[in-house]
């Protein structure tokens, strides 16, 4: 089962990817998480990537291809995988086809959500530093302030969840990533999901489509 999750920032890709990965026992491959780990170093390259991410722009394709290829080699992908945050543009979609060979073999979920919802979700999002579970200060607060319900680790606000970066991420999404839906639609692999609904309902509709 090769699953790709498309959708703007704040559409719930990360949350749904974690759930899919747990329920179907598939590796969760998030280029955003891999990059956040990679930029913890102090070297110039790490700092440069960090700046790009904080601005909401896309990290250059060559860097993404290199981290993705290394990760795919490490994971047992025989049962499939869940891709979260990749591909982000048409170049990356074509590269993925090249890496994997048989291009048609994907289920692509497009998480459809309006920009108002995105801003509302991202500006109050908090993320667990350890297990990456997402919270929302208003709609889904942690039981104990600032701590993850699942592992007790500290929650933090991503730098790119600040207002200026959110605006830029939406701009980048509309220009670079939105055309991907058409790309996969033409191959008959695209399934649109109403991601305005709450997490449970979105997950239920993804599951229902997968079980079919
Ligand atoms: P995400 O966690 O998926 O929202 O990604 C956070 C940031 O990491 C994005 O705003 C980009 O700066 C960078 N990023 C993640 N995935 C990609 C990708 N596939 N291509 C380029 N940049 C990416």
Q: DSSP string of the chain?
A: -EEEEE--TTSSHHHHHHHHHHHHT--EEEHHHHHHHHTTS-SHHHHHHHHHHHHTPPPPHHHHHHHHHHHHHHS--SS-EEEES---SHHHHHHHHHHHS-TT--EEEEEE--HHHHHHHHHTEEEETTT--EEETTTB--SSTTB-TTT-PBEE--GGGSHHHHHHHHHHIIIIITHHHHHHHHTT-EEEEETTS-HHHHHHHHHHHHH-
Query: Would the CB of 113 count as within 6 Å of ligand 1?
Result: no
Q: State the pLDDT at residue 52.
A: 95
Query: Would the CB of 10 count as within 6 Å of ligand 1?
Result: no
Q: State the pLDDT at residue 212.
A: 85
Q: Which ranges of the chain have pLDDT less than 50?
A: 103
Q: Tell me the best of 11, 14, 32, 172 to mutate to test the pocket of ligand 1, counting ligand atoms within 8 Å of each CB and taking the most.
A: 32
Q: State the pLDDT at residue 102.
A: 64
Q: Note the pLDDT tens digit of each residue in 34-78.
A: 999 888 888 898 999 999 999 999 999 999 999 999 999 999 888
Q: State the pLDDT at residue 103.
A: 47
């Amino acid at each position: 089962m090769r699953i790709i999750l498309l959708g703007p920032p704040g559409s719930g890709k990360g949350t749904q990817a974690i759930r899919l990965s747990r329920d179907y026992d598939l590796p969760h491959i998030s280029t955003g998480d891999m990059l956040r780990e990679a930029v913890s170093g102090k070297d110039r390259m790490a700092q440069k990537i960090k700046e790009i991410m904080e601005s909401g722009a896309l990290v250059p394709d060559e860097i993404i291809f290199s981290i993705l290829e290394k990760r795919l080699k490490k994971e047992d992908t025989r049962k499939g995988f869940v891709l979260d945050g990749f591909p982000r543009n048409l170049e990356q979609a074509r590269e993925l086809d090249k890496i994997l060979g048989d291009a048609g073999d994907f289920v692509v979920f497009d998480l459809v959500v309006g920009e108002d919802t995105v801003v509302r979700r991202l500006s109050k999002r908090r993320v667990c530093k350890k297990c990456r579970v997402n919270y929302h200060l208003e709609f889904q607060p942690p039981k104990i302030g600032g701590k993850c319900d699942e592992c007790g680790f500290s929650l933090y606000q991503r730098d790119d969840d600040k207002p200026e970066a959110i605006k830029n991420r939406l701009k980048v999404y509309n220009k670079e990533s939105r055309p991907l839906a058409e790309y996969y639609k033409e191959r008959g692999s695209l399934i649109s999901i109403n991601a305005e609904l709450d997490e449970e309902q979105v997950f239920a509709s993804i599951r229902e489509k997968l079980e079919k």
